[in-house]
Chain A
């Protein structure tokens, strides 16, 4: 009881400090960065979407570490759920639950459209809202809906991990190619003099790689949960 009361007192003090900071913050807030991004992003990064321009050009270093965290977590989950020798003998949950025919037929119809929408979101990431992370999640749902169509589908985890490693290495190589052309690490490797249409190839390439990586990661996480839920 005393512990809970003292915890509540500490949290209350934190709240009061935060409210005080909130009043101080109004003096520091300014809009210089907004104007800077609005006027410079298209010239610097060839991307209409400022958010994509930030996470694929200004702050590419952060995105690389984000991709590496995804790789580490996926390999950790797959390591913890697979045991030797019974890779193909496991029973999925879906084999025991009867799936209605309506859902199966509807997912057969929906599956190509979901794939197309995910690829559209990824490829148009530098022009409209979207990008690698969001489109990767849509692609992952499109791939996972095939469990409804074909419950006997076998996911090869070793192949997924190999592909994830390959994609991460290619993201590293593509983002550090600018050392050769511009003498600066982690930025667009196509020179500034070329037109913006060609410079956006870099953004499309990185968005595609990140999208495939995220979708592979989410597919492997969900499939390993399905395997773990067997009985």
Chain B
């Protein structure tokens, strides 16, 4: 059930990107997609009786370590990409005077 919920978060993010009228809202929806992806990957590697993936005494079963190793890099990259998008939105506001997609497209053309 849990992977389906995290996929629903991804779908909400896609819907928000397609329909939002404000640039900041688009960036927030972009972050929603990223969060949903992280939850989805961590859910797929989870097992009920698994320990944390650190080798120690009396550990026979662990959760899947590969999604965790991939998601570490995803979190860092996601935060930097969000920062880049916010800086670009500041530049757009200085240049066009507005953060609404429609106004920006009107003033451009």
Q: A51 touching B65 by the CB < 8 A rule? A: yes
Query: Cβ of B4 and Cβ of A22 under 8 Å apart?
Result: yes
Distance A129 CA – B86 CA, assembled complex (angstroms): 31
Asked if A103 CB lies within 8 Å of chain B CBs, one says no
**Which residues of B come within 8 Å of A, CB atoms?**
3-4, 7-8, 11, 14-15, 18-19, 44, 47, 50, 52-56, 59-66, 68-70, 72-73, 75-77, 79-81, 83-84, 86-88, 90-91
The answer on a CB contact under 8 Å between A54 and B11 is: no
> Which of A70-78, A92-100, A143-151 makes up part of the contact surface?
A70-78
- Give the complex CA separation of A23 and B7 in angstroms: 14
User: Contact between B56 and A48 (Cβ–Cβ < 8 Å)?
Assistant: yes
Asked whether B84 lies within 8 Å of A77 as measured between CB atoms, the reply is: yes
Cα(A134)–Cα(B69), bound, Å: 12
Q: Please state if A33 and B77 are interface contacts (CB–CB under 8 Å).
A: no
Across the interface, B77 reaches (CB within 8 A) one of A15, A70, A81, namely: A70
Min CB distance A141 to B, Å, is 13
Contact between A54 and B66 (Cβ–Cβ < 8 Å)? yes
Residues in A whose Cβ lies below 8 Å from that of B90: 228
Closest B residue, CB atoms, query A70:
B80
Assess whether A77 is in contact with B83, with CB atoms less than 8 Å apart. Answer: yes
Out of A49, A80, A128, A129, which one reaches B91, CB within 8 Å? A80
Q: Decide if A14 touches B53 in the complex (CB within 8 Å).
A: no
Pick from B61, B75, B84, B91: contact of A73, CB under 8 Å:
B84
Q: Does A8 contact B (CB under 8 A)?
A: yes
Using a CB-CB cutoff of 8 Å, which residues 79-127 of chain A contact chain B?
80-81
Interface of A is mostly: helix
Let me know if B69 and A37 touch, CB within 8 A: no
> Any chain B CB within 8 A of the CB of A7?
yes
Known: A55-B73, A74-B80. A129 touches B62 (CB 8 A): no
Q: Point out the residues of chain A lying under 8 angstroms from B56, CB to CB.
A: 48
B11, B56, B83 pick with most chain A CB within 10 angstroms = B83
A54 touches B69 (CB 8 A): yes
Contact B54 A66 (CB under 8 A): no
By Cβ-Cβ distance, the 5 closest A-B pairs, closest first, are A50-B53, A54-B69, A73-B80, A66-B73, A50-B65
Report if A42 contacts B (CB, 8 A). yes
B64 touches A38 (CB 8 A): no
Is the beta-carbon distance between B53 and A133 smaller than 8 angstroms?
Answer: no
A66: B residues at CB distance < 8 A: 73, 76-77
Q: Which of A31, A69, A133, A217 contacts B72 (CB 8 A)?
A: A133
CB proximity to B under 8 Å, residues A1-42: 4, 7-8, 11, 14-15, 18-19, 22, 25, 31, 33-34, 37-38, 41-42
For the A-B complex with A11-B11, A37-B65, A54-B66 known, give 10 more contacts whose Cβ atoms are closer than 8 Å: A7-B19, A22-B3, A34-B63, A34-B65, A38-B60, A54-B65, A55-B72, A59-B69, A70-B76, A80-B91
CB neighbours of A133 from chain B (8 A): 72-73, 75-76
Subset of 13 A-B contacts with CB under 8 Å: A4-B19, A11-B15, A15-B4, A18-B7, A34-B62, A42-B55, A66-B76, A69-B77, A70-B80, A129-B54, A131-B72, A133-B76, A228-B87
